[in-house]
């Protein structure tokens, strides 16, 4: 399928806490049972010296400390130099990454971090596509998008399954929707949902990212309503009675009220917990977004639950639709 450049997630919700208490906050990704994995999303904010005391060089160690705790991460706003430093600081991880610009050495990326000692990235099922009407065209943008936007994805296969068990596998998609264009966000969400529905293998799926819109928005509604993608909001699934909690702090003392960073999963996964990580080491935010981390487990020994049997005619029609969706996608993306 699509190819990519491969380079070498209890809930912490809480109110504002004095700096001396920050170190005592529990990590949302403490050690978990072997039948679980953690998957997180984290917009680490691009390296911008104009951020002053919040510039990357002052935050790098805090970001690395958070990332070391997870199994899989989808990051956003990552410049090539930042990715190199993240991988140097977190040597357990390898990354699937490609920047959004025509030149792959320039601009922001949405890398997926994974432990290559535990998981193999399927070489035929990984890549980056552009959130545009020409998703195979590097640097492309459409609708009212202010800049090129991308989605990076990969299929991961377990290297050392339990004795007598088949290797588990999953897909992870990582996106960053436009911060200005409402039409672009909606169309991009539809595009990503279609791509998830058209995946080659029926393995479980996790979609993470910075969606630049809240849980009641049209793009999130479109993703959750897409029958072929079959996604649900992991945070709301795990925190059914909790009030909404924002994930964008903008370097202010507290986060806003809107949750714009999401972990979405399909029904093959049971959500054990999902947390918004509000830790501030030394009283400082690691980024202008907070990480969101889900702990999830396979419902049935790594296999996607079977769909209800369709009538013969409906099955044929569904098969034709699926073939058409696949054929609409290029065989390779940068």
Whether the pLDDT of residue 90 is over 50: the answer is: yes
CA 170 to chain centre: 13
Whether the pLDDT of residue 119 is over 60: the answer is: yes
* DSSP alpha helix (H) spans, 35-125: 56-67, 80-89
pLDDT, residue 314, reads 46
pLDDT, residue 283, reads 92
pLDDT band at 105 (very low <50, low <70, confident <90, very high): very high
Which residue, chain included where needed, has tokens 């590097």? 138
Residue that wins the pLDDT comparison between 317 and 55: 55
What DSSP line would sit under 162-190, residue for residue?
PTT-PPPEEEEEEEE--SS-HHHHHHHHH
Q: pTM of the predicted model, to two decimals?
A: 0.84
Whether the pLDDT of residue 103 is over 70: the answer is: yes
- 221-262 per-position pLDDT tens digit: 999 999 999 999 999 999 999 999 999 999 999 998 999 999
Domain ranges of the chain: 6-327
Q: Evaluate whether 262 touches 9 at the Cβ level (below 8 Å).
A: no
- 163-209 per-position pLDDT tens digit: 999 999 999 999 999 999 999 999 999 999 999 999 999 999 999 99
Q: What integer is the mean pLDDT of 263-279?
A: 97
The 3-state DSSP class for residue 232 equals strand
pLDDT, residue 282, reads 87
- 307-329 per-position pLDDT tens digit: 333 344 444 554 554 554 444 44
pLDDT, residue 316, reads 52
- 141-166 per-position pLDDT tens digit: 999 999 999 999 999 999 999 899 99
- 1-54 per-position pLDDT tens digit: 444 434 333 333 333 333 444 444 555 555 566 789 999 999 999 999 999 999
Q: What angle do CA 269, 264, 213 make, to 5 degrees?
A: 170
Whether the pLDDT of residue 59 is over 90: the answer is: yes
| 236-257 as b/e: b if 16+ CB within 10 A | bbbbeeeeebbbbbeeeeebee
Burial of 175 (C-beta count, 10 Å sphere; 0-12/13-18/19+): buried
Q: Among candidates 259, 290, 287, which has minimal Cα distance to 78?
A: 287
pLDDT, residue 12, reads 32
CATH number belonging to domain 6-327: 3.60.10.10
pLDDT, residue 193, reads 99
Burial of 120 (C-beta count, 10 Å sphere; 0-12/13-18/19+): middle
Strands 36-43, 72-76: pairing kind: parallel
pLDDT, residue 333, reads 52
């Amino acid at each position: 399928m699509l190819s990519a450049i491969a380079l070498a997630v209890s809930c912490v919700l809480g109110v504002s806490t004095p700096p001396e208490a920050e170190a005592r906050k529990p990590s949302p990704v403490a050690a978990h049972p072997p039948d679980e994995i953690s998957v997180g999303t984290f917009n680490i904010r691009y390296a911008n010296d104009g951020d002053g005391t919040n510039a990357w060089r002052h935050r790098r160690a805090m970001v690395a400390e958070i990332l070391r705790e997870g199994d899989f991460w989808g990051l956003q706003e990552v410049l090539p130099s930042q990715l190199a430093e993240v991988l140097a600081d977190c040597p357990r991880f390898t990354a699937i990454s490609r920047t959004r610009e025509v030149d792959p050495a320039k601009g922001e990326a949405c890398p997926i971090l994974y432990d290559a000692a535990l998981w193999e990235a399927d070489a035929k099922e990984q890549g980056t596509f552009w959130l545009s009407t020409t998703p195979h065209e590097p640097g492309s943008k459409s609708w009212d998008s202010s800049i090129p936007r991308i989605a990076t994805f990969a299929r991961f296969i377990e290297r050392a399954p339990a004795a007598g068990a088949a290797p588990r596998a999953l897909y992870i998609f990582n996106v960053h929707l436009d911060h200005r264009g409402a039409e672009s966000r909606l169309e991009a969400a539809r595009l990503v949902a279609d791509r998830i529905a058209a995946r080659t293998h029926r393995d479980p799926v996790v979609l993470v990212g910075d969606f630049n819109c809240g849980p009641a928005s049209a793009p999130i509604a479109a993703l959750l309503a897409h029958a072929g993608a079959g996604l649900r909001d992991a945070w709301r699934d795990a925190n059914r009675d909790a009030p909404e909690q924002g994930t964008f702090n903008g370097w202010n003392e507290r986060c806003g009220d809107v949750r714009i960073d999401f972990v979405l999963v399909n029904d093959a996964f049971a959500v054990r917990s999902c947390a918004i990580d509000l830790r501030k080491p030394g009283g400082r935010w690691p980024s202008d977004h907070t990480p969101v981390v889900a702990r999830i487990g396979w419902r049935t020994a790594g296999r996607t639950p079977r769909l209800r049997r369709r009538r013969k005619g409906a099955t044929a029609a569904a098969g034709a639709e699926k073939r058409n969706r696949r054929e609409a996608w290029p065989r390779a993306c940068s």
